[in-house]
Structure 1
């Protein structure tokens, strides 16, 4: 999560405050250690009731704000609000049962995430996959720690969870700040986070650049599809945001369920995020591309169509050199649509940096090596998106953001959209980037960098949203009272 925040704030933000970020990370680490030790002693010093009260107030406020939201933003806030209310209720319930169930919830979440990361990394075998397996095993050990009652009989569950967040977040801050202090001024957030270049000599496809599955067939005829356009763009705000007529970055997604030529065997989650299987057993994962008005079109395919049989797919899943094949970049959207058909889903963003996107594109297209789970269409678009939105939060805030940058950092950390985007990014890095993950990742990023497209998304206006919700309820009550009076009059 910390890494995604720094992408959105930009390298200039990190470089100017690298030493401050370093010591802030050290503070997080120290606080995490203190909280963990206090948890081992049944949380004698940690104010459990006070902290639970804050969680409850935050959860109820988030639920109130969610009432005036819409779409995915409303769903995320409802989920966040319910999670906070449930956690606070379990803590306030006290005694053994509340802490026990809260510990079981935390343990199950860590166990599921750790096992998924271990299995996916072992299958895909991207560079540094052993590190991913190691962190997955660490999560499994943390889950076991939450499950067993020793040494506090579950009394220290909340301090444990908070200390882990501080420890992981502090470590990320320290490492990124340390790198920022040592690198030249020409570096970018991408170079800090993705480490050294890939061993194959890829100019931009380094150790974090593995990702989703993708199969193409240049011979299949275009089919008609219903296109869903998701416009996440601001209506204009002073001079810091693009106006309504500003150029838009477009992410095109051809969903797996819309790519098959035969009836599909429906598997809701599998179809959305991994692949769709048709009646003949062929595997379809869809496709994704990125289009910028400056003339950039990023769409990466294997030069020769890959087999869709389960045996061939299983063999090609590992991100090893022997699975590298020649790739080709599509020339433009019109050419691709004439062969593949119109994209099923489109996500638009206006707050992006065209120069950063161009630099990424110049480096990325220098290598045409295609790998099914390491360097493909989904990875290309995900990496291009991160390059394009680098520093978007600071661009949106302008000079006020420079003055309130530390406040902006804390506000961003509290946004539910950030949590969703960070989870999707983690799945793409430790499992594989797929068109389904890229679609939801682009949606989450658009909510973060273009919140004025949703008047209720701005984190600094939560009290206005509460007033809006109360006014909405008052209007509803007046309407009900009027209807009751009419019924009585009749």
Structure 2
């Protein structure tokens, strides 16, 4: 979440505040260590009831704001608010059964997350998969500790769990601060999010041949940046079998057994159109399924980039979702597109159409909120936006498994709300502040 915020605030903000970021990470991690030790020594000094009240208030606010969300955003906020509300009620009840339920909930959650991390790392084999495998194993062990009666007592479950989260987030914040400190002049904050192998590939590209001088183009107007999404269900030729999550994020299957995976592209007319396809269809038979899921170099195949949206529509069909941005870094997007298109390689799980669009969108978001970063109140308002948390969760899932058109759509929508906030911010959409705003329709153009 911090990385996405730093990307939006820009390199000047990042370089001037890296020391503050590191200090916050150290203090936050130290507080977490104190909270965890407090949960282990048998005598709780942590203000558990006050924390439960704050969590209850946060859950009520989240549930109130969720009704004004769009599509998946609404579902995620309702789920997050409902879980936090249930946990807050258990904390405030402070009974033996409530402490046991908390241990089971926290332990089961971390066990599932760790198991998914281990499975996706082992199957997909994305870069740095071994560290993800180790991290997943640590989460499984942590889950077992949470539900064990010894050495952790049920009454100390919340403080132990919260302390561990604070330590991990503090260490991650310090790590980000160190990466920020090493940013060279002339670089961008996109380097904080971009995979290291992608940046190394860019650096290894041969220098471009000098082009003949051309007259300077006219200053660009308000050309919109458009993220095109062809959803699996929207591109199916017949009615699909109802499987909401699978259809949205993986693939849709119609009654005849035809599989539709969808597609994603990004357009800034007339300068950029990034739409990556494999030159030849990939064998997706069951016998080859696990092999082609691996994000290894031996699964790279030749790829091709379509020239423009008109050609894509002529060859296939119109995109059924369009997420439009009016604030973006035109220069950064064009530079990324030029570098990315020089290597026409396709990988089903690591360098596909969706990952190309996700990275291009992040490059275009570099420093778009630089004006907002000059006021601490605006910075805090941005950090407290629910959409920033949603964007971080979507990106985390995609980077540990694979980018799909559905994940790109949710990611782009969350970023759009952050960059182009609605007239009434989230804290003014709470029902008891007045007439609540109606939910925006899930339009085909957002």
TM-score by length of structure 2 reads 0.86
Change (3 A) 1:163 1:7: farther
Q: Distance in 2 between matches of 1:285 and 1:358?
A: 27
Preserved CA contact (<8 Å) 2:120 2:401? yes
Q: How does 1:23-62 map to 2 (within 5 A)?
A: 23-42=23-42, 44-62=44-62
Q: Distance in 2 between matches of 1:376 and 1:280?
A: 26
1:481 maps to none
2:264 maps to 288
Q: How does 1:35-184 map to 2 (within 5 A)?
A: 35-42=35-42, 44-66=44-66, 69-72=68-71, 74-184=74-184
Preserved CA contact (<8 Å) 1:41 1:152? no
Q: Quick check: 1:445 aligned with 2:415?
A: yes
State the 4+ residue runs in structure 1 displaced beyond 6 angstroms: none
Change (3 A) 1:195 1:273: closer
Preserved CA contact (<8 Å) 1:76 1:417? no
Change (3 A) 1:130 1:262: same
Q: Distance in 2 between matches of 1:281 and 1:66?
A: 36
Q: Distance in 1 between matches of 2:350 and 2:156?
A: 41
2:440 maps to none
Q: How does 1:374-453 map to 2 (within 5 A)?
A: 374-395=350-371, 397=372, 401-404=373-376, 407-452=377-422
Please point out which of 277, 281, 285 is paired with 1:309. Answer: 285
- Secondary structure of the residue aligned to 1:252 is strand
- Tell me how far 1:75 sits from its aligned partner: 4.5
Please point out which of 361, 366, 371 is paired with 2:347. Answer: 371
Q: Quick check: 1:21 aligned with 2:11?
A: no
- Tell me how far 1:198 sits from its aligned partner: 5.2
Preserved CA contact (<8 Å) 2:295 2:348? yes
- Secondary structure of the residue aligned to 1:301 is strand
1:203 maps to 202
Q: Distance in 2 between matches of 1:105 and 1:409?
A: 33
Q: Distance in 1 between matches of 2:296 and 2:228?
A: 28
Q: Distance in 2 between matches of 1:429 and 1:179?
A: 19
Q: Distance in 2 between matches of 1:391 and 1:275?
A: 34
- Tell me how far 1:433 sits from its aligned partner: 0.6
Q: Distance in 2 between matches of 1:78 and 1:378?
A: 27
Q: Quick check: 1:465 aligned with 2:429?
A: yes
Change (3 A) 1:373 1:23: same
Q: Deviations over 1:323-374 (max 9, x none)?
A: 1111111100010011110112111122221122112112211211111111
Preserved CA contact (<8 Å) 2:6 2:189? yes
Please point out which of 283, 298, 301 is paired with 1:322. Answer: 298
- Secondary structure of the residue aligned to 2:264 is strand
1:226 maps to none
Change (3 A) 1:2 1:339: same
2:233 maps to 257
- Tell me how far 1:192 sits from its aligned partner: 3.3
Query: Between Structure 1 and Structure 2, how many residues are aligned?
Result: 420
Q: Which 10-residue stretch deviates more, 1-10 or 23-32? A: 1-10
Q: Deviations over 1:61-91 (max 9, x none)?
A: 3444455x25345545444433332222111
- Secondary structure of the residue aligned to 1:139 is helix
- Tell me how far 1:43 sits from its aligned partner: 5.7
- Tell me how far 1:277 sits from its aligned partner: 3.3
Change (3 A) 1:432 1:444: same
Preserved CA contact (<8 Å) 2:48 2:91? yes
Q: Deviations over 1:278-329 (max 9, x none)?
A: 4565543111001113521110011222234333444321112221111111
- Tell me how far 1:34 sits from its aligned partner: 1.0
Change (3 A) 1:440 1:42: farther
Preserved CA contact (<8 Å) 1:204 1:360? no
Cα-Cα RMSD: 2.6
Q: Distance in 1 between matches of 2:204 and 2:169?
A: 26
Q: Distance in 1 between matches of 2:392 and 2:7?
A: 11
Preserved CA contact (<8 Å) 1:63 1:77? yes
Q: Distance in 2 between matches of 1:59 and 1:197?
A: 39
Preserved CA contact (<8 Å) 2:271 2:334? no
- Secondary structure of the residue aligned to 1:419 is helix
Change (3 A) 1:310 1:11: farther
